[in-house]
Amino acid sequence: MKFTAQEMLHKVYTAHRDNGLPIASSYLASYPAILEYFQAIEDFTANQFVVAAHLVYGWMPTILEVNFAELPDVLPLMDAARRGVVLSASQLAQLARTVNNSVIGASKLLHFTNPVLYPIWDSRVYAFLKRTEADPFPQVHHYQVNKSALYETYAHTCRDVVATTDFQPTYQLLLEQFAAVPSYQTFTMTPLRALEYIMFMGGGRQVVVS
């Protein structure tokens, strides 16, 4: 699947314009609390990584299996991501092997570690980007989504989108809408989180095939 920043921006703008986004949910209200835990970590220890991984897997319908053998090599990657280093596809794959061999799980860990740089990736976002007028509710296979190179491209495109002035009106409007969400009165989501959230909500009726 290929998509440009302009194509992503157009899809996001249309979705936000045409659809009311539900804002009252535990999913949203829990986000700042999880982020607060990650922000309190200065340098990842093995125990902190395990707790952090279980926190993000609370958002996912699968049971977490941590590959402890990978931890010594993965902890420096998490600290690098926090410092603003963009991980390569091979490093993303290494992180994924630590959490159920899941690129989705890795993306969520990276997002909470650095929400300015790393967007969340999952089947709903994939379906949103894959959607066309001819196929509004595409089937999504796990193997299609679970690719570190695809996440690398997606994250790069997201960073390009939020850097444009064209995205700012949508971002500001979403911030106003989120002002009513518990725990968001004193919390401001990053542009990258706002972009991903619109895609997540817009991809909610896809068919996931294992």
The per-residue b/e assignment along 51-89, b for 16 or more CB within 10 angstroms, e otherwise, is ebbebbbebeeeebebeeebbeebbebbeebbeeeebee
The per-residue b/e assignment along 124-156, b for 16 or more CB within 10 angstroms, e otherwise, is bbbbbbbbeeeeeebebeeebbbbbebbbebbe
- Which of 16, 19, 102 lies closest to 59, judged by CA? 102
The arithmetic mean of pLDDT across residues 130-146, rounded, is 88
User: Model confidence at 29, in pLDDT bands (50, 70, 90)?
Assistant: confident
Look-up: residue for tokens 């061999």?
A: 101
Across 25-29, 60-64, 86-90, least confident range: 25-29
Residues 6+ apart with CB under 8 A from 77: 87, 91, 94, 95
User: Model confidence at 137, in pLDDT bands (50, 70, 90)?
Assistant: confident
> What pTM value is reported for the model?
0.92
For residue 210, pLDDT over 60 is answered with: no
